[in-house]
Amino acid sequence: MSTVQQETFDIIAKQAKIELDTIKPESTLKDLGIASLDAIEVIFDIEEHFNINLPNEDTDLENGTVGQLVAAIERQLAQKTAE
């Protein structure tokens, strides 16, 4: 598991008050019982933690998986490093 994935799972688990091992890359935030307002809070925490801005198309709170979210974070971090 990558560091980014681990840190993302940690943020989601803390925000949703769920066990870390219930989070899988193929889980959606909805599957994890995270309501839309809480999901927005998760995204804010992730952006703050990694010091990035996630474009709206990368944050599909309804159908996007945690794995897709991790990939979006990694893309933003790579882009930031390249600048």
Domain that holds residue 48: 3-82
**Total number of domains in the chain:** 1
- Residue 61's pLDDT is 74
Q: What is the CATH number of the domain that holds 55?
A: 1.10.1200.10
- Residue 62's pLDDT is 76
Structure confidence by residue, pLDDT tens digits, 34-73: 988 888 999 999 999 999 999 887 787 778 899 999 999 9
- Percentage of the chain with pLDDT > 90? 66
Q: What is the pTM of this model?
A: 0.89
3-state secondary structure the chain: CCHHHHHHHHHHHHHHCCCHHHCCCCCECCCCCCCHHHHHHHHHHHHHHHCCCCCHHHCCCCCCEHHHHHHHHHHHHHHHHHC
More reliable by pLDDT, 1 or 81? 81
- Give the mean pLDDT of the chain: 91
